[in-house]
A and B are shown apart, each in its own frame.
Chain A
Amino acid sequence: DSGVTQTPKHLITATGQRVTLRCSPRSGDLSVYWYQQSLDQGLQFLIQYYNGEERAKGNILERFSAQQFPDLHSELNLSSLELGDSALYFCASSASPPGEQYFGPGTRLTVT
């Protein structure tokens, strides 16, 4: 158990819908990262937050957004969902530095 929690574990929704994924980092970690993992794209970094501020952006679509709240939990919002958005979405947290990341169990999103 890494100490990072993610909810929900599984999510099934239809195209065009909007969903929110939630992540609670390890106690004391200020950085939160979001990743998308699919069979064809591998592990893709989406976005990083540090103490409530956006720190780095990766391959995140405009239909996706995220935020980190004052209690340090983070939410990833996915809207206008497409079939291709079906994937595992991982959240990770770290104390910065040294950059070692602790991953949550992931949310499996299925878009039908």
Chain B
Amino acid sequence: ETGVTQTPRHLVMGMTNKKSLKCEQHLGHNAMYWYKQSAKKPLELMFVYNFKEQTENNSVPSRFSPECPNSSHLFLHLHTLQPEDSALYLCASSQEDSGRSSYNEQFFGPGTRLTVL
């Protein structure tokens, strides 16, 4: 496997279900991200993990719960979602250099298409 992989690619769940999205990066990066992509809306940054520590949480509802067990893996745990949470969930990774403000490319996975019924 190369790059950033995400599983599952498609997920349909009811509002009372609990499911998890998985992301794995094979690039040796130290930062990972979850984004939400909805139709006709900009990508929304949900969570950032830098060196395995959560450094950003953009006021995401508590029904989304991230987990970063190591620098290669990132999970998004889902529970009691709403239909408006249906979207493409993208994972990305990058190599961040502490203390430097330089551009570090984000590499995206293919996404998980989530449908909440």
Pair from one complex: no
